Every structure is written in C-alpha cells, then in structure tokens.
Amino acid sequence: MVTAAAQGTARPEADGARNTAGDDSEHQHAFDAAVAADERIEPRDWMPDAYRATLVRQIAQHAHSEIIGMQPEANWITRAPSLRRKAILMAKVQDEAGHGLYLYSAAETLGTGRDELLDKLHSGRQKYSSIFNYPTLTWADVGAIGWLVDGAAITNQVPLCRCSYGPYARAMVRICKEESFHQRQGYELLLALSRGTPEQHAMAQDAVDRWWWPSLMMFGPPDDESQHSAQSMAWKIKRHSNDELRQRFVDICVPQAESLGLTLPDPDLKWNEERGHHDFGRIDWTEFWEVLKGNGPCNEQRLTQRRSAHDEGAWVREAAAAHAARHSGGTEAARHRTTGAERA
Amino acid sequence: MTAAGPATVPVTAALALGDDALVLSHRLGEWAGHAPVLEEEVALANIALDLLGQARVLLSLAGDEDELAFLREERSFRNLQLVEQPNGDFAHTIARQLYFSTYQHLLHAELAAGDGPFAPLAAKAVKEVAYHRDHAEQWTLRLGDGTETSHERMRRACDALWRFTGELFQPVEGLDVDWADLESRWVESVTRVLGRATLTVPEGPRTGAWSAGAGRQGVHTESFGRMLAEMQHLHRSHPGASW
C-alpha cells in the first residue's frame, strides 16, 4: 500500500487513533494539501476530527444498509422459481453480507468497532438506506431491486472509489464490481419476466411502478436541502451532488426501460434537447422524510428482525469468545472473566 | 467420465444424493438475514450454494432440474429425513451439519475413488464438503466447549437429531459402497469430534421406531410438506412459464 506520505506530501501521523492536542494547524495544512492533490488519506495519517466523524457516519450507514438490505431479498430465497435464480439470489445476498464485512472493517480503521456501530443501528441512533423500508411483494421485486436499487447505488458509489479516504475507496472498488454484476442480473431477471407470460409481464411492470420513485429518492434530498453535502464535497468524500447523480441515473434508466419493454411511472418524463438530459416529475419528498422518520412500510419490521437475529445469536458469540479465551493460551484472569459472565 | 450420459446414471441414486443437497441447501438458505454473526451469514450461504450446485448437477442427471425440484410431490422426494429437519437454534443447525457433512464427506470420498458415474462430481464435491465438515467441527467445539448455555444447547441438539442418523447408512440402489464400513468410520469420526467438544455420544436409538430408512422411500416428516409448499408455490402458480 502506498501511503500519501510515501507519495511525496510529507504528512504527520496521528498519535494513536485519535488526534491529540498540539499544533493542529500544521497538521491541517498538510491534510488540506493532500486532499487538494487528490492523494489518499490513510488510517495512520492525521485527519480532522470532523472528517473522521463524517466518514464513520457515512461508512456505518453504508454498512448497515448492506446488512438490512439482505432482508427484503432474503424474503424470496425460499420461493425462488428456478434453481438457477435461487443460486443467483443466494449469492447476491451473501455478497451483501460480505460488503457489510468490508465496510465495518473500513470503519474500524477509523477507530470505531463493529459492535459499537451495530449497537447504534439497533438502538436507532444510526440510519440505513430508507429504500429497504419498502416491502418485496412479488418475485419481480427481486429484479427491480437489482436493476433500480443496485443501479442507483452504483451511480452513487462509483465516485466513492475515488474518495479521499483510502480504505473506504478500496472497499468501494470491490463492492462496485459486485454491485454491477447484481444490477445486470436484476435487469436480466426483469427481461425474462417482461418477455414471459402476460402475468409475468404485469408482475414486472408492477414492481417497476413501485420501486421507481423510491429509487430516485436514494440520492438524498435536493442539493439545496442536503445537510452534509457541501463539507463532504470539499473533503472529496463526495464528488458529485445529489441532484447531479439523480439526473445521471434517470438518463441511464430511460433507454434501459425501453429495452426491457417496461414503462417508468412518470408522465412528465421526457427528453430535453436543450439540457441534453431527461426532465422528470416532482419527487414526493414528504414520503421520503416520513420513511426516514420511521413511518415507512417496513421500518419496524427490518429493525426488529435485525435486533432479534443479534439477540438470539448472543449465546453463540459468547460461546465462541469463551472457547477462544480458553484455547488461545489466554490468561487465567480471562478464563475467570468468561466463566463469570457465563453465570451472570 | 467412464460412464457418460444420463442413460447410464442410476436415477435412484442421483435423486437420493441430489435431494439431500437440494433440501439441506434450502434449509440453510432460511438462515439468510438471521445468522448470529455476520461471518456466519457468509459461511452458511456459502455452504448452501455449494450444496445447491451439487443438487443441480445431480438432478440434471436424473431429468430436468426444475421439474424435479418444483413439481414433485412430497412422497417422491428421496432425501434423508435428517436434512429436512427444521433449522432450530444455531446448535441444531450445527449438529445437523456435523452429522450430514461427515457422512457426505466419507461418501463422496469413496465415490470419487471409484470409477462409477458419480466419480467426477464426487471428486469436486469432496473438496467443498471438507470445508463444510470443518466448519461444523469448529462450531461443535466452540459450542460444546464454550459456555454452560452453549454446551447444554449443543447437547440437546445432538440428542434430538441422533435418531435420524441411522438412515444415513441405508444402502442406496446404484451406489457401490461398503455401507457398514462407512457407518463405522462415521461413528468413529463423530465420536472423536463430540469428545473433543466435551460432549458425549447420544445414547438413544439411531432410527425411529417405524421409519428406518423412510426418507429414501419417500416417507418424510411433517415440516417437510410445509417447506416444499413454500419452495414450490411460485413455480407451480405459473405453469409452463420460464424464469
């Protein structure tokens, strides 16, 4: 791994995981220069506390979205209509668990462990992408999630491969490769339905009708209402505005919908020659804020399942820890602690 | 492959082995989103995917994989009752994995060493199954020799599933295997793992009173019907459709 320091911009290392009091202005100057020069910030480099906090918040939210996002798709694993589709779906849900692992590890390089982040997810102090608060009602929803939700996620995430923070950028390279695979699989699933029986075609259209607008909301509020955007752009954590990315996504989807033989549920959607982009209808931001606040169709269900999987697995994690303590040449004290916790 | 082509493949054996893999893969797939730790989401899905891959090859030797998976009635499935048992808690899933993957590993190693129609498939599967067995063994050690709670849960799980293990060694038509030898090696292996996990080998009988070898004859347990209802519902709702 080539650190920014090795590339030429001499930058001080942080003393431990957190900044210590001292001459931060010099550190700040070196940090700003590295970001301006498009160099990567690495875990041992000094970084402003707010930069670290922003990254932890964003990476955690992304990791949580991966593991909550397993639920709506896992909902169809046991009902997949062919063995080939079942294998594809299982592999996809497994990839999402893997993405969760990379991302929690990336957050850990900033000094915040997985347990702490899961605790914040379970107690509602950290969010996940609101899109997963919508239900998967039919098999076609699996395709719509792949095509639209993963498509929107890729549009958002490809620029993150150039994010200023090294471990996050590198995790995103791998994640984007897998996501683009998922997106193509979703598209192909919908194509099979669209070209299938009239019932299958109707199922595909219904799914696209339900998932289109929530997918557009995935890019976040309009630029003038986005709370964190400006600072993240300056730090090169974020490279394009919400509205830019949303427009890019719409422009990509329109011809794909035509190839699929499906329509997008927006009467105002049309090509604007002058702008060189598609115009589209007004997004219902009231719905967005309501779902974000917890009033979506599945907010309660998703979090309850997550908490119950975690709580019901507590005895398994405790057993693994106790076994490891006993067999890794752990100290006598560690062994006593384990048996103490066990009795409690 | 020395005996190529579906015509020479013993269909009964392809269905027995294919159904074992298909059904256990389905049960493991039910864990998605419910595993006790993120690493196990990945591991259980991985095992489920390996088994599904094996099932697809085996069922394709016997006919059309989707017709066989989605259009057969419960009484036509030839899987062991062990693999259809509900997941239960994590200890039950691990006990089921330990019993089955130990069996599957010994069986595939034997088939891979021979020159029958399953040798090529078994040669690939045996490598996958070695990992499944290792995974089950490691968790048996952690749970058996973990906390008092986990020890007790693992003991109960091993006991509960013990009566489904006799059926593993009912001879399958078309498989040239020394079943008695396979059984003694299975008992030896499982006894060794349970011992290391500070667990004792269950004392009860290894077959139910009336149902020895029943899964291979198409007699299953009650929960299997519900599992199939869920698995087959969508496919059956759209007769003749492609997916």
- Which residue bears the tokens 């996990």? B197
CB atoms within 10 A of CB A172: 24
Closest chain B C-alpha to A151 CA, distance in angstroms: 21
What pLDDT sits at residue B139? Answer: 98
- Asked if the structure places residue B71 within a domain, the reply is yes
What pLDDT sits at residue B159? Answer: 96
Average pLDDT over residues A308-317: 97
User: Over chain B, what is the mean pLDDT?
Assistant: 94
SS3 content of chain B, % helix, strand, coil (to 5): 70, 0, 30
What pLDDT sits at residue A232? Answer: 86
In terms of C-beta density within 10 A (0-12 exposed, 13-18 middle, 19 or more buried), how is residue A63 classed? buried
What pLDDT sits at residue A36? Answer: 93
Q: Inform me whether the pLDDT recorded for A223 exceeds 60.
A: yes
CB atoms within 10 A of CB A282: 7
Average pLDDT over residues A2-11: 46
pLDDT band at A342, cuts 50/70/90?
Answer: very low
Q: For residue A92, what is the nearest residue in chain B, using CA coordinates? A: B45
CA-closest candidate to residue A153, choices A199, A214, A201: A214
Residues A310 and B36: their CA atoms lie apart, in Å, by 6
How do the domains of chain A map onto residue ranges?
39-285
The SS3 assignment for A279 reads: strand
Residues A319 and B143: their CA atoms lie apart, in Å, by 6
Say what the pTM is. Answer: 0.92
- Give the residue with greater pLDDT, B208 vs A26: A26
The residue of B22, B28, B30, B34 whose CB has the most chain A CBs within 10 angstroms, and thus the best one to mutate to test that interface, is B34
What tens digit of pLDDT does each residue of B194-207 get? 999 999 999 988 88
pLDDT band at A11, cuts 50/70/90?
Answer: low
The separation between the first and the last C-alpha atoms of chain B, rounded to the nearest angstrom, is 31
Range 240-299 of A in CB contact (< 8 A) with B: none
Average pLDDT over residues B111-125: 94
| Range in A5-14, A19-28, A129-138, A282-291 the model is least confident about | A5-14
What pLDDT sits at residue A16? Answer: 47
- Asked if the structure places residue B4 within a domain, the reply is no
**Nearest-by-Cβ selection for A315 from B40, B55, B150:** B150
With an 8 Å Cβ cutoff, is B156 touching chain A?
no
The separation between the first and the last C-alpha atoms of chain A, rounded to the nearest angstrom, is 45
Closest chain A C-alpha to B92 CA, distance in angstroms: 12
Residues A88 and A138: their CA atoms lie apart, in Å, by 17
**Nearest-by-Cβ selection for B52 from A86, A93, A197:** A86
- Asked if the structure places residue B243 within a domain, the reply is no
Q: For residue B139, what is the nearest residue in chain A, using CA coordinates? A: A320
Residues A131 and B91: their CA atoms lie apart, in Å, by 34
With an 8 Å Cβ cutoff, is B38 touching chain A?
yes
Question: In this complex, do A83 and B66 lie within 8 Å of one another by their Cβ atoms?
Answer: yes
pLDDT band at A20, cuts 50/70/90?
Answer: low
Q: Inform me whether the pLDDT recorded for A333 exceeds 50.
A: no
CB B107 within 8 Å of CB B182: yes
Q: Inform me whether the pLDDT recorded for A158 exceeds 60.
A: yes
pLDDT band at A13, cuts 50/70/90?
Answer: low
With an 8 Å Cβ cutoff, is B124 touching chain A?
no
Q: Inform me whether the pLDDT recorded for B76 exceeds 70.
A: yes
CB A153 within 8 Å of CB A99: no
The SS3 assignment for A278 reads: strand
pLDDT band at A332, cuts 50/70/90?
Answer: low
Question: In this complex, do B38 and A101 lie within 8 Å of one another by their Cβ atoms?
Answer: yes
**Which residue range(s) make up the domain with B90?**
11-237
Q: Which chain A residues are within 8 Å of B32, Cβ to Cβ?
A: 70, 74, 77, 90, 93-94
With an 8 Å Cβ cutoff, is B239 touching chain A?
no
Q: For residue A340, what is the nearest residue in chain B, using CA coordinates? A: B147
Q: Inform me whether the pLDDT recorded for A18 exceeds 60.
A: no
The SS3 assignment for A13 reads: strand
Q: Inform me whether the pLDDT recorded for A228 exceeds 90.
A: no
Q: For chain B, what is the domain count?
A: 1
> For the domain A39-285, what is the CATH code?
1.20.1260.10
Residues A51 and A57: their CA atoms lie apart, in Å, by 10
- Asked if the structure places residue B1 within a domain, the reply is no
Average pLDDT over residues B30-53: 98
What pLDDT sits at residue A330? Answer: 52
pLDDT band at B171, cuts 50/70/90?
Answer: very high
Query: How remote is the C-alpha of B140 from its chain's centroid?
Result: 17
Q: How many residues are listed for chain A in this entry?
A: 344
CA-closest candidate to residue A313, choices B93, B149, B154, B90: B90
pLDDT band at A337, cuts 50/70/90?
Answer: very low
What pLDDT sits at residue A14? Answer: 58
Percentage of chain A beyond pLDDT 70 is 89
What tens digit of pLDDT does each residue of A270-299 get? 999 999 999 999 999 999 999 999 999 999
- Give the residue with greater pLDDT, A329 vs B22: B22
Question: In this complex, do B49 and A78 lie within 8 Å of one another by their Cβ atoms?
Answer: no
With an 8 Å Cβ cutoff, is A326 touching chain B?
yes
With an 8 Å Cβ cutoff, is B33 touching chain A?
yes
CATH number at residue B216: 1.20.1260.10
Residues 6+ apart with CB under 8 A from B115: B2
With an 8 Å Cβ cutoff, is A318 touching chain B?
yes
Token pair of A288 as six digits: 């967005």
Average pLDDT over residues B62-75: 98
